[in-house]
Amino acid sequence: MALIFIGKSVCPICKNVLHEGEAITGFPAFVPNNKDPIYFFNDGGFHQECVPKHEFGNLALKSVSLDYEKVDYTRKICLVSKERIAEMDDYFNTGLLTSDEHEPLYPYNFITLHKKYIKDWELKEDLLQKLIAFKENDRWNDYFGGRLLDDMIETIKNPIP
């Protein structure tokens, strides 16, 4: 969740300081791709009334709601086995790949899998091809120079046997 310092942090939309008593919306760090139009909201604090005024504000709200709706981070349930994933090293989650509903990757947002069941997932190859195309079309960049997407591709290509 965004670190917001009341009386010091500034709303990136209106450029005014966030004060005590104001309705504030804080977004988590949920947009790894800095080429996504809602990256602007990633890990940020905003006046609640400003968010829908921004061109992508409602899309950001919808996307973060989808994250909370699709992923139970406390339980981490595998889509294939329906079992709880206990160890973080066994956990694979796509996170938000794209906020664009027309993008072929959109249905794969927030997919949770146990790494050992990736090989059994019927949509594994489809996701892999879409991730590769996304990369080849230069649609992704992250804090690590694209390594996050590369790691996702590698994990799907070479899942745990």
Give the number of other Cβ atoms within 10 Å of residue 19's Cβ: 12
Cβ-count burial of 28 within 10 angstroms (0-12 exposed, 13-18 middle, 19+ buried)? middle
Partners of 77 in the β-ladder: 84
Question: Comparing 70 with 88, which gets the higher pLDDT?
Answer: 88
Q: What is the pLDDT of residue 144?
A: 86
Average pLDDT over residues 122-131: 98
Q: What is the pLDDT of residue 67?
A: 79
Phi-psi region of 15 (alpha: psi -120 to 50; beta: other; left: phi over 0): left
Share of the chain above pLDDT 90, in %: 85
Q: What is the pLDDT of residue 72?
A: 72
- Band of the pLDDT at 147, cuts 50, 70, 90? very high
Q: How is the chain split into domains, by residue range?
A: 1-70, 72-157
One-letter amino acid identity for 119? K
pLDDT digits (tens, 9 = 90+) for 20-72: 999 999 999 999 999 999 999 999 999 999 999 999 999 999 999 887 777 77
Asked if residue 148 has pLDDT above 90, the reply is yes
Write the CB contacts of 43 (distance below 8 Å, at least 6 apart in sequence).
1, 2, 27, 28, 29
Q: What is the C-alpha to C-alpha distance for residues 45 and 55, in angstroms, rounded to an integer? A: 16
Q: What is the C-alpha to C-alpha distance for residues 59 and 96, in angstroms, rounded to an integer? A: 12
Average pLDDT over residues 133-150: 92
